[in-house]
Amino acid sequence: METLLSPEKTHLTRRAALLKYGVEKLSAVPGKTYWYNKLAQVRPDCTFDRFELYCEEQLPIVARLQGLAEQIVSKGDQILSDEFPFAHGRIMFLTSDPGYGKTHLVEAVINHVADKRPELLGKMALSRGHFLHDHMTAASEYGGASVVIIDDIFSEHQSIDALHPATDLTSFMNFITMLYERRIFALITSNFRLMGEDGGILGKVAQRDKVGRVLSRCKQVLAASGEIILPGKDFRQELAVRQAGHNFTL
C-alpha cells in the first residue's frame, strides 16, 4: 500500500532529493562531469498544483508539461540503466514574455520527478546562465545527463538581434549537434521566440549555418514537440500588487 506523506514531509523529501543529486556537479557517466548543475536551486513550492492559471489557454500547456513529467518517471528504469535511453534527441521549447510562469513550470517538472523517482535527478541537469560558457568552444555533455533543462536561454541579451554569430549562435549550433548525436531530451525556456515573424533564434541560426546541417537537425529534434507559447500575464506585477502595503518580512 502506498504511504501518503503530509505536504510538509513531501517538501522535506523533495528537498533532500534535490540536495543529494543537485549540488555542485553532475557525473552521471564516468569521466564526464558538469559543475554547474542548479537542481538544488529549485523551489519546493513550484508545483503544478500551485501554478495559478490566468486563462483557459494555459490549461493544455500545463497538462502537456505534467504529461512530460510523467513520461520521465515512467521511463525511469530505462533512463537509469542506459546511457542513451531515448531513440532520438528531442527539444521542447517554452517561450513567453517575462514573468508568465515558465520557470515555475519547469521547476514543477523537476519537483514531480523528485517526488516520484528521486533517483532520476542523478540523470538530470538544470542549467542557468552558463549556456555560452558550456558550448562556446565545444559542447558540454552535461555530465552524461539524459534530461537537460536550460532555463532562460540567452537571458543576457535584450533582443534576438543581439545574438552574436561567433559566440551565441556557435554555442547554440554546438548544443544542437551534441543533443542530436547523444539523443538527449532538452526542455528549454526563453523570453525569445524560437521561430516567429522576425525569424526568431532559428532565423539567426539559418544565417550562420550556410550548409544547413544544424538547421536540419534542429527541425528534426523539434518535430514532435516544437515551440510552445505560454499565454498569460506578468505574475511578478501581480505579486507586487498583492504585497503592496504589507509589512516587510524576510
What pLDDT is attached to residue 75? 97
Instruction: Note the pLDDT tens digit of each residue in 109-138.
Output: 999 999 999 999 999 999 998 899 999 888
> Does residue 5 have a pLDDT over 60?
no
With DSSP H G I counted as helix, E B as strand and the rest as coil, what are the percentages for the chain, rounded to 5?
A: 50, 10, 40
Instruction: Note the pLDDT tens digit of each residue in 20-60.
Output: 776 567 888 888 889 889 998 999 899 999 998 888 899 99
Burial of 225 (0-12, 13-18, 19+ CB in 10 A): middle
Q: What is the mean pLDDT of the chain?
A: 88
Tell me which H or E stretch contains 70: helix 59-74
What pLDDT is attached to residue 66? 97
> Does residue 9 have a pLDDT over 80?
no
Q: For cell 533564434, name the residue.
A: 201
Name the CATH superfamily for 30-242: P-loop containing nucleotide triphosphate hydrolases (3.40.50.300)
> Does residue 108 have a pLDDT over 50?
yes
Q: Which has more confidence, 245 or 181?
A: 181
Distance CA 130, CA 206 (A): 23
Q: Where does the pLDDT of residue 248 fall: very low under 50, low under 70, confident under 90, or very high at 90 and above?
A: low
What pLDDT is attached to residue 214? 92
Please give the model's pTM, rounded to 2 decimal places. Answer: 0.88
> What distance lies between CA 166 and its chain's CA centroid?
24
Q: For cell 486563462, name the residue.
A: 55
Instruction: Note the pLDDT tens digit of each residue in 167-192.
Output: 999 999 999 999 999 999 999 999 99
- CB of 180 closer than 8 Å to CB of 221: yes
What pLDDT is attached to residue 16? 79
